């Protein structure tokens, strides 16, 4: 999971080089500081036409690096036209360029997903591309390490907005198109959602919400033929750790997994209509802990591993 820097939303339009072959992409900033990047192989008239037969695409949030970028590659490799959205336009453009270089279709929408109007921005820009979601991958999110009472309250509330509110809005907004294409939703949670996490209390609680929401929504959407899967990875070496302030916490051997492995297992689980996917044998033990150990005891164990911020 990644959380990047906002793009410059003050300019109505710009030309952006994608970093591969010097290709120039036309970008138009729209609602909520969004910028849309088009596959330049498509005619402009086809891209801008708003028709009833919009093409299906997989929408992937937080796709500028890490798990999100890996998921974008996996969906593209499996024949899906992909739409990447995140705040960091240059990094996202490079991911999209690599996907196109492999012969697949990819578009980007630069958007601050923590904004209340971000879903409206995405819907408008996808319509301008004559696309509609057949799959939604809610990967964008971040965590913060430290005691909740002393961490910046605004940052923690913004974390809830991104990890929970935006994920919920995107999951619910496009249900008609998901049903038309008998597609699905992949919500990236975490093994942290199964246990209390003193030292990352708000983050763990937000991922518990994602897990519970996804399993409940899955049952509600079954009659519509929509799959919903919660992907619950353990530690993954990405920019998430630096953003969270996790600089010197070492995890037991066997719990961390590469982003590419996590993405492949998440995609496979979604296609097989699994409710919850926990990549890695060691990580599969975590959901069982609350069944055998008191939550207060688990909280003390987690606190012992994450309390290094107290010694700083």
pLDDT one-digit tens code per residue, 161-191:
999 999 999 999 999 999 999 999 999 999 8
Pick the catalytic residue: 142, 203, 209, 267?
A: 203
In the three-class reduction of DSSP (H, G, I as helix; E, B as strand; rest coil), residue 35 is classed as strand
What distance in Å separates the CA atoms of residue 145 and residue 151, rounded to the nearest whole number? 8
Q: According to the model, what pLDDT value does residue 26 have? A: 34
Structural domain for 132, as ranges: 57-311
Number of domains making up the chain: 1
Is 203 assigned a catalytic role? Answer: yes
Binned at pLDDT 50, 70 and 90, residue 288 comes out as confident
Binned at pLDDT 50, 70 and 90, residue 11 comes out as very low
CA distances in angstroms from 135 to 11, 19, 56, 164, 260, listed in the order given: 31, 27, 8, 18, 19
Q: Select the highest-mean-pLDDT range: 3-7, 10-14, 97-101.
A: 97-101
Binned at pLDDT 50, 70 and 90, residue 10 comes out as very low
CATH number (domain holding residue 66): 3.40.50.720
- Decide if 27 is inside a domain: no
Residue 132, class by beta-carbon neighbours within 10 Å (0-12 exposed, 13-18 middle, 19+ buried)? buried
Query: Quick one: what percent of the chain has pLDDT higher than 70?
Result: 72
Tell whether pTM > 0.85: no
pLDDT averaged over every residue in the chain: 80
Q: According to the model, what pLDDT value does residue 16 have? A: 39
- Of 222, 125, 127, nearest in space to 179 by CA: 222
- Decide if 25 is inside a domain: no
- Decide if 30 is inside a domain: no
CA distances in angstroms from 73 to 23, 62, 76, 90, 206, listed in the order given: 20, 13, 5, 17, 26
- Decide if 208 is inside a domain: yes
In the three-class reduction of DSSP (H, G, I as helix; E, B as strand; rest coil), residue 134 is classed as strand
Binned at pLDDT 50, 70 and 90, residue 219 comes out as very high
- Decide if 220 is inside a domain: yes
Q: According to the model, what pLDDT value does residue 254 have? A: 60
């Amino acid at each position: 999971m990644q959380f990047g820097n906002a793009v410059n939303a003050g300019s109505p339009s710009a030309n952006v080089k994608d970093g591969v072959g010097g290709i120039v992409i036309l970008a138009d900033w729209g609602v909520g500081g969004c910028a849309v990047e088009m596959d330049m192989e498509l005619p402009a008239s086809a891209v801008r036409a708003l028709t009833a037969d919009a093409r299906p695409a997989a929408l992937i949030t937080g796709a500028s690096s890490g798990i999100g970028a890996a998921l974008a590659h996996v969906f593209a490799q499996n024949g899906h036209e992909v739409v990447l959205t995140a705040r960091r336009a240059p990094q996202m453009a490079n991911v999209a360029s690599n996907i196109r270089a492999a012969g697949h279709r990819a578009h980007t929408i630069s958007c601050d997903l923590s904004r209340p109007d971000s879903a409206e921005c995405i819907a408008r820009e996808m319509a301008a591309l004559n696309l509609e979601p057949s799959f939604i991958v809610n990967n964008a999110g971040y965590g913060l390490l430290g005691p909740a009472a002393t961490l910046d309250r605004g940052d923690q509330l913004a974390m809830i907005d991104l990890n929970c509110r935006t994920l919920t809005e995107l999951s619910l907004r496009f249900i008609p198109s998901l049903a038309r294409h008998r597609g699905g939703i992949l919500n990236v949670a975490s093994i942290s959602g199964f246990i209390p996490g003193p030292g990352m209390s708000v983050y763990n609680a937000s991922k518990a919400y994602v897990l519970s929401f996804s399993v409940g929504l899955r049952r509600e959407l079954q009659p519509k033929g929509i799959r919903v899967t919660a992907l619950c990875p353990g530690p993954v070496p990405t920019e998430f750790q630096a953003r969270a302030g996790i600089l010197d916490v070492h995890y037991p051997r066997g719990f961390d997994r590469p982003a590419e492995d996590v993405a492949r297992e998440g995609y496979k689980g979604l296609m097989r209509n699994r409710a919850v996917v926990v990549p890695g044998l060691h990580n599969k033990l975590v959901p069982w802990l609350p069944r055998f150990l008191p939550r207060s005891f688990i909280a003390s164990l987690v606190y012992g591993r994450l309390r290094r911020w107290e010694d700083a």
